């Protein structure tokens, strides 16, 4: 999400309550338990067509470390609360989203099955390092701090986007939000963003921003809809999806900024495996299935054409 901090995240787009027409997007528990296997379907935003399958590439499969490949599956840690990237479908069990669909095909290209497990976002990188998960797939923005802890494979690009009530009745200006109440999800780069803006307000002799932090992005979005906050900010695909799912109650505010790549998280000592993942993404780009998956979820604006292990980022 935009460039997230070392921890981040939660649910987006969200609950129906008195007068709110929000769609529940995330209901995975934060205990780290298994919430089901991703497979490609379940939300109205996705195509009704089944997810295409791809043939395994033996040369790429040979790059996967033997101890990873031996059981034929990849255990994937994911904070399944961030629609449309990764979230729990209406059945309360199936993990769906563009991240899920895409990585399902990446694993197939390597001759493996992706098995997604719900986990708190801020536990996943450590879980990959400890061996609890073999890969982390959870809209992790690649940044220098994360690159010190893991190998990361770029596969998508996103920025930060603001949203407010339709018509912007409070006249919110992201560049001049002093004295306003703004909703964000805890431990995201958006917290760092809005905190820096608030500090600038105080330095200029203005009222600080009241920053309401929520465990889940669904809660932050609902706060804007209900009027508990006048605006919120999150990763660009997440906020665009929230606006869509709130049936006109919200609108996007300002431009996307601070775009940066998302990355798959792989243990530091498995550079060859990371390269295999990058090559698998590249193969999906070349055969067109990468674009097909992104279009299924309406997130094609963040497509990249050069998946890279540990790309240089600011």
CATH architecture assignment, domain 160-258: 3-Layer(aba) Sandwich (3.40)
**Do 16-159+260-302 and 160-258 share a fold?**
yes
Domain 16-159+260-302 has CATH 3.40.50.1220: no
* Domain coordinates in residue numbering, the chain: 16-159+260-302, 160-258
- Do residues 164 and 230 lie in contact, with contact meaning Cβ atoms separated by under 8 Å? yes
Task: Please report how many Cα atoms fall inside a 13 Å half-sphere around the Cα of residue 252, on the Cβ side.
Answer: 17
Residue 122, pLDDT score: 85
The pLDDT tens digits for 182-229 are 999 887 889 999 999 999 999 999 999 999 999 878 889 999 999 999
Helices marked H in 165-247: 189-203, 217-226, 236-245
* Ranges in the chain, pLDDT < 50: 1-44
Residue 303, pLDDT score: 96
Residue 47, pLDDT score: 55
The pLDDT tens digits for 153-168 are 999 999 999 999 999 9
CA distance 90 to 80: 13
Question: Taking each helix axis from N to C terminus, what angle separates 236-245 and 217-226, rounded to the nearest 10 degrees?
Answer: 50
Residue 188, pLDDT score: 81
Residue 46, pLDDT score: 60
The phi-psi region of residue 9 (left if phi > 0; otherwise alpha if psi is between -120 and 50; otherwise beta) is: left
Q: Taking Cα atoms as reference points, which of 225, 233, 221 lies closest to residue 11?
A: 221
């Amino acid at each position: 999400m935009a460039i997230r901090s070392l921890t981040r995240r939660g649910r987006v787009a969200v609950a129906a309550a008195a007068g709110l027409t929000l769609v529940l997007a995330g209901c995975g528990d934060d205990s780290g338990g298994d919430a089901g296997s991703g497979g490609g379907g379940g939300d109205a935003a996705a195509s009704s067509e089944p997810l295409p399958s791809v043939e395994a590439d033996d040369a790429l499969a040979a790059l996967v470390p033997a101890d990873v490949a031996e059981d034929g599956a990849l255990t994937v840690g994911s904070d399944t609360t961030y629609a449309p990237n990764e979230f729990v479908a209406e059945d309360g069990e199936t993990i769906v989203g563009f991240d899920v669909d895409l990585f399902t095909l990446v694993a197939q290209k390597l001759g493996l099955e992706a098995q997604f497990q719900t986990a708190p976002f801020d536990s996943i990188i450590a879980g990959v390092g400890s061996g609890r998960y073999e890969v982390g797939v959870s809209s992790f923005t690649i940044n220098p701090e994360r690159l010190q802890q893991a190998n990361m494979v770029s596969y998508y690009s996103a920025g930060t986007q603001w949203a407010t009530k339709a018509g912007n009745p409070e006249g919110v200006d992201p560049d001049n939000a002093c004295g306003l109440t703004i909703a964000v999800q805890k431990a995201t780069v958006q917290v760092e963003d809005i905190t820096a803006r608030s500090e600038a307000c105080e330095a200029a002799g203005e009222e600080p921003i009241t920053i309401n932090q929520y465990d889940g992005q669904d809660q932050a979005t609902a706060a804007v809809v209900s009027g508990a906050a006048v605006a919120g900010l999150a990763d660009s695909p997440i906020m665009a999806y929230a606006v869509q799912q709130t049936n006109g109650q919200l609108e996007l505010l300002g431009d996307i900024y601070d775009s940066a790549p998302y990355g798959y998280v792989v243990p530091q000592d498995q550079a060859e495996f990371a390269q295999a993942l990058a090559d698998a993404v590249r193969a999906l780009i070349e055969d067109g299935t990468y674009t097909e998956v992104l279009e299924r979820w309406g997130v094609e604006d963040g497509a990249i054409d050069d998946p890279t292990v540990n790309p240089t980022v600011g």
